[in-house]
């Protein structure tokens, strides 16, 4: 279960509330939106924060807790109530369910039981909404060197994903020193990731939402700091917290990391579904592909996520052939993006994504096919056939007939 859920907790008991918080903070798919130590104030907390789930601990005052279940269920019907109690009396459980609770768990809850309850609640919610709940997908774009086209890929991939009305997409520029995603989108942001860093201790959904700038294509951007001196450090754990909150809001995150492969970059890759490793067909780039893949292979999760993307295929006659590149890196090439330097430069200089600037260009079509393959969307018509043909042609033996 990969869906992130936003949860609010009420428990007047300090010890039990602390134990429940520790449980929740250890689950990646749960974002603790709010906590409350008084039953009387919790309805207001829920109305303000609008969480997916309200967790009510009954032990401090079972009757007040049961009354609260009724209030939350009636006043915030879209919020599912999960009740926890150390008492397992049948009458208490029955009353909680009659009052509107969706699940009842014994305290202290086992993590497996808690995850199972969350799964049932999510399935019920998606059924009530007439559809299947979608997972939030995270794609990290990483380069094997400078100037290989990471930001252009990240920004244009996000804008293409945002064309689907069912998607909500955010781009995170994690190159804190020299990132330029804002240039590609012609955005002058009011807030940056620096504002998030400075307010990380009180970060909530509202603050993070205000830190994002929306582009006309529908994608949101969380840009790098405006001034290089603004270097309030962000720890990997804090970045994971930011990403978790973004996942609770957006169906897709595209993260453009720096070339340093530092702790923040690796943290982003660790929480990603796919890491697009962008290269060109020249010797320095391919050498770095080998280095990075060996490094990734030391981590089972990263090795499975890494996908080699060849950019600017056909750049000039002196580039290394695909056959030779495959022999060099010893790994399948996941995708090939054709060279279209003039179109890409025009798009960048105008601050207009390719999907708007040149929707019929060969490069734009290739990026759309890549988005479909990553997103697991089944296409129809010629575009689907092209994507399938291209995907089948990426294996090692498909290049044996080409000259080295």
pLDDT value at position 3? 55
Same domain? 184 vs 262: yes
pLDDT value at position 77? 93
pLDDT value at position 266? 95
Same domain? 372 vs 304: yes
Q: Which among 106, 128, 150 is the end of a domain?
A: 128
Same domain? 117 vs 262: no
Domain around 22: 5-128
Same domain? 365 vs 312: yes
Q: Which among 128, 163, 184 is the end of a domain?
A: 128
Distance CA 179, CA 4 (A): 28
The number of distinct structural domains making up the chain is: 2
404 occurs within a structural domain = no
215 occurs within a structural domain = yes
109 occurs within a structural domain = yes
286 occurs within a structural domain = yes
Same domain? 205 vs 310: yes
259 occurs within a structural domain = yes
User: In angstroms, what CA-CA distances link 171 with 85, 105, 155?
Assistant: 41, 38, 7
297 occurs within a structural domain = yes
258 occurs within a structural domain = yes
pLDDT value at position 233? 75
Same domain? 117 vs 153: no
- Residue spans of the chain under pLDDT 70: 1-3, 28, 125-135, 201-206, 230-232, 317-318, 377-404
Q: Which among 74, 104, 128 is the end of a domain?
A: 128
The full DSSP string for 35-94 is EES-HHHHHHHHHHH--SEEEEE-TT-HHHHHHHHHHHHHH-TTSEEEEEES---HHHHH
User: In angstroms, what CA-CA distances link 38 with 6, 44, 45, 58?
Assistant: 20, 11, 10, 12
The number of C-alpha atoms within 13 Å of 340 and in the hemisphere containing its C-beta is 20
User: In angstroms, what CA-CA distances link 207 with 3, 41, 232, 308?
Assistant: 21, 22, 17, 35
CATH number, position 12: 3.40.50.2300
Same domain? 161 vs 95: no
pTM reported for the whole predicted model:
0.69
Same domain? 169 vs 64: no
Distance CA 160, CA 217 (A): 8
CATH number, position 197: 3.40.50.300
250 occurs within a structural domain = yes
Same domain? 288 vs 169: yes
Termini Cα distance of the chain: 45
pLDDT value at position 129? 52
pLDDT value at position 232? 62
User: In angstroms, what CA-CA distances link 246 with 140, 201, 211, 304, 324?
Assistant: 14, 16, 11, 23, 40
Same domain? 110 vs 144: no
Same domain? 294 vs 369: yes
Residues 6+ apart with CB under 8 A from 14: 37
Same domain? 84 vs 163: no
pLDDT (tens digit per residue) in 96-142 = 999 999 999 999 988 888 888 888 888 776 655 544 445 689 999 99
């Amino acid at each position: 279960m990969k869906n992130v859920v936003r949860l609010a907790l009420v428990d007047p008991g300090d010890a039990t509330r602390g134990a429940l918080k520790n449980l929740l903070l250890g689950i990646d798919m749960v974002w603790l939106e709010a906590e409350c130590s008084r039953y009387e104030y919790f309805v207001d907390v829920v109305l303000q924060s609008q969480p997916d789930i309200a967790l009510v601990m009954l032990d401090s005052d079972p009757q007040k807790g049961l009354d609260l279940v009724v209030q939350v269920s009636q006043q915030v019907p879209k919020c599912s109530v999960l009740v926890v109690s150390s008492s397992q009396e049948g009458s208490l459980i029955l009353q909680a369910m009659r009052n509107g609770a969706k699940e009842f768990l014994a305290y202290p809850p086992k993590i497996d039981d808690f995850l199972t309850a969350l799964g049932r609640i999510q399935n019920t919610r998606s059924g009530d909404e007439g559809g299947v709940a979608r997972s939030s997908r995270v794609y990290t774009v990483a380069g094997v060197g400078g100037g290989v086209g990471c930001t252009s890929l990240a920004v244009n991939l996000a804008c293409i994903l945002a064309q689907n009305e069912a998607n909500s997409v955010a781009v995170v520029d994690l190159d804190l020193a020299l990132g330029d995603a804002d240039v590609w989108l012609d955005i002058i942001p009011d807030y940056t990731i620096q504002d998030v860093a400075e307010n990380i201790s009180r970060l909530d959904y509202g603050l993070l939402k205000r830190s994002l700038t929306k582009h006309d294509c529908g994608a949101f951007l969380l840009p790098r700091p405006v001034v290089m001196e603004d270097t309030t450090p962000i720890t990997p754990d804090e970045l994971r917290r930011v990403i978790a909150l973004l996942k609770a809001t957006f169906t897709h995150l595209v993260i453009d990391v720096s070339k340093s492969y530092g702790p923040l970059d690796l943290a982003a890759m660790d929480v990603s579904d796919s890491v697009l490793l962008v290269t060109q067909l020249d010797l320095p780039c391919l050498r770095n592909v080998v280095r990075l893949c060996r490094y990734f292979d030391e981590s089972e999760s990263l090795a499975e996520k890494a996908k080699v993307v060849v950019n600017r295929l056909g750049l000039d006659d002196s580039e290394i052939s695909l056959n030779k590149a495959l022999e060099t890196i010893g790994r399948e090439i996941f995708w090939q993006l054709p060279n279209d330097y003039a179109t890409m430069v025009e798009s960048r200089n105008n601050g207009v994504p390719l999907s708007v600037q040149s929707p019929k260009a060969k490069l734009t079509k290739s990026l759309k096919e890549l988005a479909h393959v990553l997103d697991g969307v089944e296409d129809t018509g010629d575009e689907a056939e092209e994507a399938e043909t291209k995907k089948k042609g990426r294996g090692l033996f498909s290049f044996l007939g080409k000259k080295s």
